[in-house]
Structure 1
Amino acid sequence: MFTGLVETIGTVLEYTQLDTTSSGGNGVSAVIGDCSSILSDVHLGDSISTNGVCLTVTEFDEAKTQFKVGIAPETLRRSNLGELKKGSKVNLERAVTSEVRLGGHVVQGHVDTVASITKREPDGNAITFTFQLREKEYIHYIVEKGFIAVDGTSLTVTNVNYDTNEFSIMMVSYTQSKVTLPQRTLGENVNIEVDLTGKLIEKQIELNLNSQIENKDSSLNKLITSLIEKKITELISNKK
């Protein structure tokens, strides 16, 4: 679990396509450097959010200034990690511990989809970014003033357009210097993780409705039956 508060910006030092005979076959192996400040208490097998994607550390260099990860095919399909190359900059955050303050919001590191940057507009010393989702169904989990993770950065939604599948955020000047988004240009893809709360609520409602529909004695079925009987009675009365 992560907070969406990026700790440092790392640099991709190596990015290697794996063949089907290699470990993690058909995925990618990446080495991330320029991040010694966050590696002192990280161990092999620990998780590091890389552009918002939870990845497992598999190797360190001797001086512990860089780490290696494997990126699975499913992760490459879901995220923008397949677009990385040597020299790319990435947001990095260690998994939370019990002593960490939750300054952002609960971020799983399970990216839902990507979105392209459609607008970038200055607003004083802040910048407003607008994004369009690749998979439109995720727009239903995004609400104005709700949380969103963009490349692993916890941000507040300032506007949502459900017709165009777009949403906007505003980034203050302090955050601009701590994350990679201000370096991005129009048309580039960013990783999106919607707030888990909305998905949980939707699933609970779906399961509850299905359960009530399958139970003929449920309150929902009784209500539906009552409404149908009432409507039939009205139609019969009107014909008379």
Structure 2
Amino acid sequence: MFTGIVEHIGTVAEYKELDETLSGGNGVSVTIKDAAPVLSDCHIGDSIACNGICLTVTEFDSNSFKVGISPETVSRTDISSWKTGTKVNLERAVSQDVRFGGHYVQGHVDTVATIKSRTVDGNSIVFGFKLGEQSYEKFIVEKGFISLDGTSLTVTTIDDDGTFYIAMIKHTQEHVIMPLKQVGDLVNVEVDVTGKVIEKQIEVHLQAQIADSKSSLSQLIGKIVEEKVRNALNK
């Protein structure tokens, strides 16, 4: 679990596609350097969010660490665009004494979004984004949380076509990679898990109600159908 408060910016030192016979197909191995601030208490198997992607440390030294990335993660995120020199946001998994300054971030990227606009507004930069998968638009709400490249941000407004916006203050600009990106670049998106949990609970509840002929919902649906049929016959 993460908070979306980026601790440090690292640099991709090596991006290596793994042999299909060893990795199961199209996985990659990435080494990230300039990472000393997040490695002081590191252990093999620890989770570090890299641009919002929860990845497992397989090797490390005082300044760099290596992660293996599955084909599914590569296909769902912006990892395929990484190369030597790419800057990435880094955050260690939360510990017992971490202040929860952002929001609950799993590190499980849902999809990517394209930067559609970038506008300076005083000391802030307003970014506009369009999701790659429209099915996630229902989880993005005005003034709600969203994780973009692992950064906890607040949605300021949403256009009718689903384009959503965030305003990034000067302090955040100095500590994350977003200002390095341009219109047309991709960002990793993790929507607020609360919305997904609520949707699933409602779906399960409705299915159970519909399956039970004695439930209040089934009885209500039955009455509505009977009334519609009766009205149709009386015409």
Q: Could you state the TM-score of these two structures normalised by the residue count of structure 2?
A: 0.96
Quick check: 1:51 aligned with 2:48? no
- How far the C-alpha of 1:160 sits from its partner, in A, is 1.5
Structure 1 residues 160-192: Cα deviation after superposition (integer angstroms, max 9, x where no partner): 12x423111000000000000000011000000
Distance in 1 of aligned mates of 2:25 and 2:47? 20
Question: What amino acid maps onto 2:197 in structure 1?
Answer: L
1:193 to 187, 190, 194: 190
Q: Deviations over 1:110-131 (max 9, x none)?
A: 0000000000011110010000
Check conservation: 1:48, 1:55, Cα contact below 8 A. Answer: yes
Deviations for 1:211-232, whole angstroms, at most 9, x for unmatched residues?
1111111110111112233344
The CA deviation at 1:37 is 1.1
Q: Alignment partner for residue 102 of structure 1, among 95, 100, 105?
A: 100
Q: Look up the match of 2:7.
A: 7
SS of structure 2 residue aligned to 1:203: helix
Pairing 1:33–2:33 present: yes
Counting matched residue pairs gives 235
Is the contact between residue 6 and residue 91 of structure 1 (CA under 8 Å) also seen in structure 2?
A: yes
Shift of 1:101: 1.0
CA distance in 2, matches of 1:135, 1:3: 24
Match status 1:167 vs 2:178: no
Question: Which has the larger displacement, 106-115 or 221-230?
Answer: 221-230
User: Which runs of 5 or more structure 1 residues have no equivalent in the other structure?
Assistant: none
* Structure 1 residue 235, shift from structure 2 partner: 5.0
Give the counterpart letter for 1:107 in structure 2: V
Question: C-alpha offsets along residues 89-134 of structure 1, whole Å, 9 cap, x if unaligned?
Answer: 0000000012111100000000000000000011110010000111
* CA displacement, residues 195-222 of structure 1 (integer Å, 9 cap, x when unaligned): 0000011111111111111111111011
What is the 5 A alignment of 1:35-184? 35-61=35-61, 64-161=62-159, 163-184=160-181
Task: Describe the SS at the equivalent of 2:21.
Answer: coil
Q: 5+ unaligned residues in a row in structure 2: which ranges? A: none
CA RMSD of aligned residues (A): 1.3
Please say if residues 52 and 111 of structure 1, whose CA atoms lie closer than 8 Å, have aligned partners that are also in contact: yes
Q: Percent identity over the alignment?
A: 58
The residue aligned with 2:212 is: 215
Q: C-alpha separation between the residues in 1 aligned to 2:232 and 2:21?
A: 70
Distance 1:24 1:231 in 2: 56
For residues 221-240 of structure 1, what are the structure 2 equivalents within 5 Å?
A: 221-235=218-232, 239=235
Task: Give the aligned residue type for 2:120.
Answer: P
Distance apart, 1:85 and its partner CA: 0.2
How far off is 1:233 after superposition?
Answer: 4.4
Q: Is the 8 A contact 1:24 1:70 kept in 2?
A: no
User: 2: CA distance between counterparts of 1:209 and 1:73?
Assistant: 35
Equivalent-residue separation in structure 1 for 2:25 and 2:64 (angstroms)? 23
Q: 1:203 and 2:200 equivalent?
A: yes
Please state how far the C-alpha of 1:25 moved relative to its aligned partner: 4.6
Structure 1 pair 151–235 and aligned structure 2 pair: CA distance change class (3 A)? same
Give the secondary structure class of the aligned counterpart of 2:205: helix
